[in-house]
Structures are given as C-alpha cells and as structure tokens.
Amino acid sequence: MVSFKKVCSLGLATALVATGLMATTAQADATTATKDSDSGQSTASFSVTDNGTLELSSTPTFNFGDVDASTLALGGKQDLNPDSSTLQVKDTRGAGDHTWNLTASLTTPFTLKDDDNTNDDSTTLPNAYLTVNAVAGSNSSADGVVQINGATINATAATVIPNEDAYAGTSIYTFDKASDATLQLPAVPNFTAGQYDGTVTWNLTAAQ
C-alpha cells in the first residue's frame, strides 16, 4: 500500500513539472514572435505666397475687312470679319470680394492712314463706334457665364461687363462670329479711300 501511494505521488509530480515546462515554452514563443505590420504618419504641406491677382490677360483685335464705299458715303454698319481674337479676364484672388468692372472706350477715333502708315489726323470719323456681343466660351473656368450684350464702344468709357456679372476664375470671350462685333459708320459723303484705324482702350478695375 505504501509503495503504491509513493508511485502515484511521483507520477503527479512529474505531470506538474511537464505542464510548467510547456507553459514556459509557450510564453517564450509568444515573446519572440516576429512583428510583420506597423503604421505611422507623415506631414504634407504647401504655402501660398500672394493673395492672387485680377488681370486683363488679353484684348481682342477687331478687323472689319473691306467696307463698301456706299456704306461709308451714306452711313451704315459693317459686321466683324471674325477670327480667334479673345478678351480674357483672369481673377485668381483668394478670400474676399470677386466682383470687378470692365469698361471700354474708343480713345482714338477711326483715322485714315497716310502712305507712310501714319495717321492723317485731318481725316477722322469721330462718330463711328462699335457694338460688341459675346458669351464666355466653354474654355472659361469662371464660376459663371456672362454675355456681353450689345455694349457700345465710343469716345465715352462704357461698361462692357458690370460688377454684378463678374466671376472668379478666367472668363474668355472669343470673337469668332460676324455678329460678335459691329462697326457703326456715320454718313461721310466726302470720304477718302484708304485704311482707317481706331484704338479701343479697356480698363479692368476691382469693385470698390
């Protein structure tokens, strides 16, 4: 009986030792396991060095081609000889008011050019003027689309695009149709044949 009890006690002790060894080995394996994933953060930044600008990027050239003698003698109109000439307003200003005003005037009246390609100031057409019509095209990036509808350009500065129709971005008006601009001519019975040139001055201002 005594021998039997001793054998049983020894077997139990052996089992406990084996269990302890297994637990220690499992802990060691968990401690030395390889880390195969991780995460971190980085910073992305940029700076803006100015507050943007309001600029008149381009102004159109109006070519009305050859005017019939009777149109000038009796007075009349001549539609534009269209090309890809453009009027561009670029507004890249940041926060704040993006309204602006564009005016135009015929600062030099249509004047006959001499043979040496200079203006003959004695032959001018002070009452001739332009009317312009155009819509900002699909290549514009402005917030809205504005139509220039029958604006008159003569010796007095006139608003072409008013404050309430101004938008941020780039507004591009292409004068590629005959009806986009018209030359209005007074009757000049004693006209002289030749080339007549005038100067249109555009003024772009931010709304006050």
pLDDT digits (tens, 9 = 90+) for 128-152: 999 998 877 656 666 655 668 889 9
Judged against a pLDDT cut of 60, whether residue 27 lies above it is answered with: no
Greater pLDDT, 46 or 26: 46
Q: Is 99 within a domain?
A: yes
pLDDT digits (tens, 9 = 90+) for 83-134: 888 999 998 888 777 788 899 999 999 999 877 666 656 689 999 999 998 8
**Containing structural domain, residue 127:** 54-206
d(CA 42, CA 80): 58
Q: Is 133 within a domain?
A: yes
Cα–chain-centroid distance for residue 12?
Answer: 88
Q: Quote the pLDDT of residue 118.
A: 62
Q: Is 124 within a domain?
A: yes
Q: Is 58 within a domain?
A: yes
Greater pLDDT, 38 or 1: 38
Q: Which residue has the tokens 């000889």?
A: 81
Greater pLDDT, 9 or 110: 110
Range scoring the smallest mean pLDDT among 42-46, 51-55, 146-150? 146-150
Q: Is 27 within a domain?
A: no
> Binning pLDDT at 50, 70 and 90, where does residue 154 land?
very high
- The CATH number linked to 160 is 2.60.40
Give the residue among 159, 176, 181 at the shortest CA–CA distance from 105: 159
Q: Is 9 within a domain?
A: no
- The percent of residues in the chain predicted with pLDDT above 70, rounded, is 73
Q: Is 7 within a domain?
A: no
Mean pLDDT of 5-22: 45
d(CA 58, CA 128): 24
Is the Cβ–Cβ distance between 157 and 104 less than 8 Å?
Answer: yes
Greater pLDDT, 201 or 118: 201
Q: Quote the pLDDT of residue 167.
A: 72
Q: Quote the pLDDT of residue 125.
A: 93
Q: Which residue has the tokens 């032959």?
A: 123
**What is the residue-averaged pLDDT of the chain?**
81
Q: Quote the pLDDT of residue 208.
A: 67
In total, how many domains does the chain have? 1
Cα distances from 208 to residues 100, 144, 147, 168, 205, in angstroms, run 9, 21, 23, 16, 9
Give the residue among 197, 178, 174, 201 at the shortest CA–CA distance from 123: 197
Q: Is 136 within a domain?
A: yes
d(CA 49, CA 168): 19
- The percent of residues in the chain predicted with pLDDT above 90, rounded, is 45
